[in-house]
Structure 1
């Protein structure tokens, strides 16, 4: 019994001791374990962004502050880089920083944006003659926020790509704030403005302004054709004119300037060309009217107003083609139409003919004038009409025609048969007696019958003679001919005296006189002379 009690006591004591030992070991393990500490990276994320400047020289900065400066564009100094970051976000920064020595402390808040994102706070303190600048982001303050390394690297790569793209762009790009202050510009703009230092390792602040933009440009208006000021121009062979396009952003305006010097030169050359044409057209005696593809008057010269008796005030209103022709009909400066419907049809045909190709017609006006109207197509569907007063030319032509008809009538009254040949040997004219004698129609053969052809016709209706051979040889000669007289006999027995007479310019005529008094052949002295000459 006693032995059993002792064994139970020993088992109980052993269990209690084991439990005590376990508790002791557990306390030692928990009590002596080192406390959790923040890693250096976590401490760095919680460290404030602070700078210490001596005038414009950076004396010291926290690691986040140095990373901020490294992310900014190149500048002439660390102060320039920081100003490039602060000035767009804190508009009063540059004006108030000079008051630090008097006030001792400055506080600024970032300008409001359209989003609900908390605004940055900037504090500047005078620390023993140095400027201690602190930036506070309310969104991340005291939260120890960490960024995934892969996401952060992707953001840095994208930022570098965008920055490189903008710096390599030949287009001038810059950004202005709502107050008009220039807050950012790409390399092309800075190079054009001469903002870089000698080694192109940095630039000063504030950035120079190249253009004087109109007010509507800050509201997205444009594009605007602007010229760089003379003081800002570079080399003489560089462009001085630009087409500026503006895009409104959340907190300012982004501007793009495209070179337009070539377009300006082309427009100037076009204006000079138009002025030259205008001066030329002004001196032309021919009236000119050019209608565009919508058939509206676009260009005319003073002669048009004088010839058609149209006031300049009417032409200045740019009437349509049909309104223009209607006015001509009302003022009787075009042929009187039978009726309005037929007149419109004729004008439509005139327009279509002028638009499809060269078209000309003559207008005999009620007042006695005669106009030649010419229509020509122009590029882009335009059509030009030329109005030329040919009254004197027509009168002279009619006079010449009357004189020619009268001369022909006089020639037909002559009893002898007469044929006139050009120096080339072609038949120029002949009278009615010539056609009756030789059985031909002179009007149908003018200009198409040569002397050789005529000799064959004569030989067919006359007896053989040495005179025909001599005329054939004459047709092959070039130069002056000698006067000659010869007598021939027709197949019907009539005797004909042939006379060759030279005219001015190498022309000559042949006169055939029929001897109706006697059928007896006279002596043939001339025939001997022809035989000797032949």
Structure 2
């Protein structure tokens, strides 16, 4: 019994001694061997630093990503493959680990690649550091950085462009908060941009504490209101539009000058309408849509038009049809072509023109058509019926007077107040030996006198003589005078100023009577001389 107990005691002691030996000697060896095996087989790129040997070991994965051949590692330290700066980075990383501090992630450049070391495993005799290849990530990051720089520059350029605009521009986020405004916006509020954004000063009067329901929504309609800035009252119009999932963009336009111009235009238009309304001529304006835009009372009376119907804005084609139906429009062989031409002319007319229209009721109208400055056509109709009748009577009377003058023995010429010939008769041409071409209506008195130069003496001082003759015929002092011409003829000249400023001249060739009179006077003198001689002898 006691021997069996001793056997069990001995067996227990042996097991205890064996367990202790395993824990003290065998287990650490197996653990080191297992760690080497696991580290060499891991897929992660690992750099192992052997603390006691102060050497590095590179596993297959790290060799692969670094592109290191075995021949490069043989007889060389791993450190010798790194640049000096990168060696320092790796040493600092290891020092912090040995100091039991957690080192920050560190970038290592090896060859053309970039790697990050950000995790490690440490035991009593080694440190295993994981390497991650971020070469592609760095390239992507650089590309993204360039894109970001480009976007920043684009945004900066856009801000410069927006600041150069003469109109306020702003941007609000989806909550309605103001996040950007340009220089014109800040100038209008006379505040710096940062203060405007901090206070959420919305240009048209909204702010962060009012209109809470609308603040996050864009203006649904065009808002127009007066604002006072730069010490003046401005009429502003505001526009906003929602940008999908971004926010709200808006701008404002100063309509002050435009509103003043429109008001001024409306005043001018009203005054023009008043003037056109009071004209005796008929006026009608058709817009570019070929509809009546304006007409005056004279137009209605002239064509017996229904004023209420014209106020509905009928087209020119409808007006022409109405006039033709009531037999006020002149007859045309091809009315359809005429109507089409008139309709097309509204938008194609370039220069004003006029024509006479003879209506079926025997009236004669002068029609003036001109392009309207804002599009369309402008018509003026003037009734010339009475004027033409008077002109016909005048022409007949003038023809009778002309015939009467041409049959006078006395030469007659009438010059206007401008010194130009208005009329003359055949006797005047004959006396001064001028052709009809030399006495054309409208010729100046000085030119006619120049053509009669050969009748007057003083050729050396002709300029002075001509001025005296012009004065004699235009001084508006009635006179009669005999003109002795170089060819021996004598003209009895009379001048009468007319009430309208014209000058009437009459001329009679008295050469024969003057010679007879002269001969008789000579005979009288001769008779008296003879008679006085007889008396002397008788004494």
TM-score norm. by structure 1 comes to: 0.51
RMSD between superposed Cα atoms in Å: 6.0
For 1:243 and 1:259, the matched residues in 2 are separated by 4
Q: 1:522 aligns with which of 511, 517, 539?
A: 517
For the pair 1:278 / 2:270, whether they are aligned, the reply is yes
Structure 2 partner of 1:365? 359
Match of 1:173 among 171, 174, 185: 171
1:255 counterpart = 2:248: yes
- The Cα shift of 1:507 comes to 1.6
Question: Of 390, 399, 402, which aligns to 1:405?
Answer: 399
**Secondary structure of 2:349's aligned partner:** helix
Q: Is it true that 1:184 corresponds to 2:177 in the alignment?
A: yes
In the other structure, the counterpart of 1:75 is none
Alignment partner of 1:282: what SS? Answer: helix
State the distance in 1 between where 2:331 and 2:244 align: 66
Kindly indicate whether structure 1 or structure 2 has the higher relative contact order, using CA contacts under 8 Å at least 6 residues apart: 1
Asked whether the equivalents of residues 452 and 472 of structure 1 are also in contact (C-alpha less than 8 Å), the reply is no
User: What is the count of residue pairs matched by the alignment?
Assistant: 381
2:493 paired residue number: 499
Alpha-carbon contact 1:239-1:259 (below 8 Å) kept: no
For the residue of structure 1 that corresponds to 2:222, the secondary structure is: strand
* SS of corresponding position for 1:446: coil
- Check whether the contact 1:373–1:387 (CA below 8 A) recurs between aligned residues: yes
Alpha carbons 2:320, 2:339 under 8 Å: kept: no
Partners of 1:349 and 1:524 in 2: how far apart?
83
- Tell me, in whole angstroms, the C-alpha distance in 2 between the residues paired with 1:17 and 1:273: 114
1:244 equivalent in structure 2: 239
Matches within 5 A, 1:43-442: 170-175=168-173, 182-188=175-181, 202-203=198-199, 207-209=208-210, 224-227=221-224, 236-237=231-232, 241-247=236-242, 249=244, 254-262=247-255, 265-284=257-276, 285=279, 286-340=281-335, 343-344=338-339, 347=342, 355-379=349-373, 382-391=376-385, 393-394=387-388, 396-422=390-416, 426-434=420-428, 438=433, 440-441=435-436
Question: Structure 2: how far apart are the matches of 1:212 and 1:436?
Answer: 103
Name 2:475's counterpart in structure 1.
479
Deviation at 1:21, TM superposition (A): 1.5
CA distance in 2, matches of 1:318, 1:247: 40
Between the aligned partners of 1:298 and 1:453, the Cα distance in structure 2 is 55
Q: Deviations over 1:298-333 (max 9, x none)?
A: 444554434443334433343444444443444454
Write the distance in 2 (CA, Å) between the matches of 1:458 and 1:204: 95
The offset of 1:273, in angstroms, is 0.5
The aligned residue for residue 508 of structure 2 is 512
Given that 1:193 and 1:208 are in contact with CA atoms closer than 8 Å, whether structure 2 keeps it comes out as no
Distance 2:502 2:229 in 1: 75
1 CA distance for matches of 2:424 and 2:323?
A: 46
TM-score, normalised relative to structure 2: 0.51
Unaligned runs of 5+ in 1: 1-13, 43-147, 177-181, 527-534
Query: What 5-or-longer segments of structure 2 have no aligned partner?
Result: 1-17, 36-96, 106-136, 202-206, 522-539
Q: Which has the larger radius of gyration?
A: 2
Show CA shifts across 1:435-478 (max 9, x none).
56657448962233747746866978xxx999xx9996753436
Residues 168-207 of structure 1, C-alpha deviations (whole Å, 9 max, x = no match): 875132245xxxxx54322439978999999779448982
